[in-house]
């Protein structure tokens, strides 16, 4: 269902203001004495969402406190799985990647939380549903958009994105923006930057094992690399380029990336790690014109991040844990997350206004539209087969963009591997 969001102007809100505005509507029932819940996270020193959301909940429920358990972000699922197997896992399990939800559920490590009540506006809930039951609650929902440098567009005399772009428009603009010092666009090396858009905008399901829909998206990437409007995959890989560095230091005029980069770019411009320039976000370019324009709903992709409950939790803690999950999906929590630049799973006019009131955020109408108005389809369908299929598709991605295998041959090889190694649903 399409939502309507007001345009945002002004720079006024902070996380502290958001916290004072929280209601008490998500308070837990009185537990039998104080309860301390353990909650998993990663990069706790640089990822403020875990502390912010637990502090806000404890403010409303003083008898329920939290101990945050930090894991290495790269090895998060491996380390967490080991702790769960050893029965030393945390009470609240943050679902970092949807493709591992089925693994935890099939291992009997997630509690059924279907009875946790959620607001209608919350997105991403279906990613945690297996056989009619829910095993986690989304608290954030990033979607992929197009970041663009307004100053570089103006300097090149190129019209800025207006919400009507297809990928052909993107390719043409990138060519016009490219100079000796600036690439028109930077496409990061992740498979998501090609495959996520291809699957979402074609309506394809990777679980079916047919991957022909990827071909035109890879053809476009290769064409842009050949004409020099994007950094070549091999160059980006060999030099370990970062998307923050390429866009933040104005080496690229455009960047397809998830909405999480908004908070990072604001912080890096404030610290001086990124250059000082005017930027905005636009809807990601579309496969055709049918989903373009400010009166349409652009199609993009993005997986939610959620909280589940360890099936081995102490029974005396279950009510408190479920109360926290209910809070995490509430508007109160959404306001807290929006106030620190995190994209919450619940979006409404008030939450969007808070998000764009952060000092340094763009305030133009197109940025607000791109952030709030889209159909976001999952990159990772919820299935026990997803992780294995995505591993094969990662190999295909590298083979194509490294130039070692032609597109059609790489796709055929990936289809054959999925059929023989994984099977299809």
Burial 348-360 (b: 16+ CB within 10 A, else e): beebbbbbbbbee
Kindly report the average pLDDT of the chain as a whole number: 91
Residues 128 and 196 in one domain: no
Domain range enclosing 178: 144-300
- Is residue 25 located within the same domain as residue 108? yes
Dist CA 132 CA 180 (whole Å): 55
pLDDT (tens digit per residue) in 1-41: 333 333 333 333 333 333 333 333 344 545 567 999 999 99
Which of 285, 300, 315 terminates a domain? The answer is 300
How far apart CA 181 and CA 250 sit, in angstroms, is 9
Q: What is the pLDDT of residue 258?
A: 95
CATH number of the domain residue 356 falls in: 3.40.190.10
Residues 156 and 291 in one domain: yes
pLDDT of residue 46: 83
The tokens describing 166, both together, are: 């297809």
Assess whether 149 and 293 both reside in one domain: yes
Give yes or no: residues 241 and 224 share one domain.
yes
pLDDT tens digits, 157-215: 999 999 999 999 999 999 999 999 999 999 999 999 999 999 999 999 999 999 999 99
3-state secondary structure of 36: strand
What pLDDT is attached to residue 2?
Answer: 36
- Residue-wise pLDDT for 32-88, tens only, equals 679 999 999 999 988 899 999 999 999 999 999 999 999 999 899 999 999 999 999
Examine residue 405 and state whether it is found in any structural domain, yes or no: no
- Residue 396 and residue 411: Cα distance in Å, rounded? 7
Q: Average pLDDT in the 361-369 region?
A: 95
Determine, yes or no, domain membership for 288.
yes
| 271-291 average pLDDT score | 97
User: Of the candidates 300, 323, 356, which is a domain's last residue?
Assistant: 300
Q: How far apart are CA 167 and CA 286, in angstroms?
A: 6
**Residue 258 in domain:** yes
Indicate if 106 and 187 belong to the same structural domain: no
Last residue of a domain, one of 283, 300, 317: 300
157 and 103 fall within a common domain: no
Check the CA dihedral 326-329-335-341 and report its sign.
positive
| Cβ 212 vs Cβ 418: under 8 Å | no
Percentage of the chain surpassing pLDDT 70?
Answer: 92
Q: Are residues 105 and 197 in the same domain?
A: no
Structure tokens belonging to residue 422: 């994984």
Give the pTM. 0.86
Same domain, 158 and 63: no
Taking only the tens place, the pLDDT of each residue in 97-138 is 999 999 999 999 999 999 999 998 899 999 999 999 999 999
* 7 in any annotated domain: no
Q: How many domains, in total, are found in the chain?
A: 2
For residue 214, being part of any structural domain is answered with yes
Say whether both 281 and 326 belong to one domain. no
Domain co-membership, 257 together with 280: yes
Q: Quick one: pLDDT band at residue 425, thresholds 50, 70, 90?
A: low
Q: Are residues 84 and 167 in the same domain?
A: no
Report the alpha-carbon distance of residue 109 to residue 313 in Å, rounded.
10
Give the pLDDT of residue 219: 98
């Amino acid at each position: 269902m399409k939502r309507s969001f007001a345009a945002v102007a002004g720079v006024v809100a902070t996380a502290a203001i958001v916290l004072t505005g929280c209601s008490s509507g998500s308070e837990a029932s009185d537990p039998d004495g104080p309860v301390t819940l353990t909650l998993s996270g990663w990069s706790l020193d640089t990822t403020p969402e875990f502390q912010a959301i637990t502090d806000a909940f404890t403010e409303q429920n003083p008898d329920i406190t939290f101990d945050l358990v930090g894991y290495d972000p790269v090895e998060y699922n491996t380390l967490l799985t080991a702790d769960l197997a050893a029965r030393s896992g945390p009470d609240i399990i943050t679902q970092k990647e949807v493709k591992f939800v089925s693994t935890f559920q099939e291992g009997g490590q997630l509690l059924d939380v279907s009875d946790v009540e959620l607001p209608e506006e919350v997105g991403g809930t279906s990613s945690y549903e297996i056989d009619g039951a829910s095993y986690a609650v989304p608290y954030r929902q990033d979607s992929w958009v197009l970041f663009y440098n307004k100053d570089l567009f103006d300097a090149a005399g190129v019209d800025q994105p207006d919400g009507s772009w297809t990928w052909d428009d993107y390719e043409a603009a990138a060519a016009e923006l490219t100079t000796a010092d600036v690439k028109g666009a930077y496409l990061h090396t992740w498979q998501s930057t090609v495959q996520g858009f291809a699957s979402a905008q074609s309506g394809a399901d990777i679980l079916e094992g047919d991957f022909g829909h990827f071909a035109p998206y890879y053809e476009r990437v290769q064409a842009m690399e050949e004409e020099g409007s994007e950094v070549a995959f091999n160059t980006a890989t060999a030099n370990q380029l970062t998307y923050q560095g390429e866009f933040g230091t104005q080496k690229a005029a455009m960047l397809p990336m998830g909405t999480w980069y908004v908070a990072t770019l604001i912080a890096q411009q404030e610290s001086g790690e990124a250059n000082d320039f005017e930027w905005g976000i636009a809807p990601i370019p579309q496969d055709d014109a049918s989903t373009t324009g400010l009166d349409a709903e652009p199609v993009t992709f993005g997986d939610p991040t959620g909280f589940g409950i360890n099936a081995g939790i102490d029974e005396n803690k279950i009510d408190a844990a479920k109360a926290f999950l209910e809070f995490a999906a509430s508007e109160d929590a959404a306001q807290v997350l929006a106030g620190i630049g995190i994209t919450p799973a619940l979006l409404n006019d008030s939450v969007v206004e808070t998000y764009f009131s952060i000092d340094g955020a763009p305030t133009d109408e197109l940025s607000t539209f791109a952030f709030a108005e889209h159909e976001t389809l999952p990159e990772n369908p919820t299935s026990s087969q997803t992780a294995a299929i995505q591993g094969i598709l990662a190999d295909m991605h590298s083979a194509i963009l490294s130039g070692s295998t032609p597109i059609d041959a790489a796709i055929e090889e990936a289809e054959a591997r999925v059929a023989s190694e994984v099977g299809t649903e």
